[in-house]
Amino acid sequence: MSVINLSSGPQKDTLAAAPTPDRLKKGERVAIITGDHVEDLEFFYPYYRLNEAGYDVDVFTLNDEKFKGKTGYEFKAAHKLAVARPDDYALLYLPGGKAPAELRKHDEVINFVKQFAASGRPIAAICHGPQILITAGLVRGRQMACWPEVQEELEEAGGTFVNEALVIDGQFITGRMPGDLPRHLAGVMDALEGKLDLREARGERKSA
* Contacts of the segment 1-9: beta carbons below 8 A, 24+ positions apart: 1/72, 1/73, 1/74, 2/74, 3/66, 3/74, 3/75, 3/76, 4/73, 4/74, 4/75, 4/76, 5/75, 5/76, 6/47, 6/59, 6/75, 6/76, 6/77, 6/78, 7/76, 7/78, 8/51
Read off φ and ψ for residue 66, nearest 5 degrees. Answer: -70, 150
Helix or strand holding residue 167 (H, E) = strand 166-169
**184 catalytically annotated:** no
Q: How far apart are CA 158 and CA 154, in angstroms?
A: 7
Tell me which of 37, 79, 128, 184 is the catalytic residue: 128
> Is the Cβ–Cβ distance between 173 and 163 less than 8 Å?
no
Q: Catalytic site residues?
A: 128
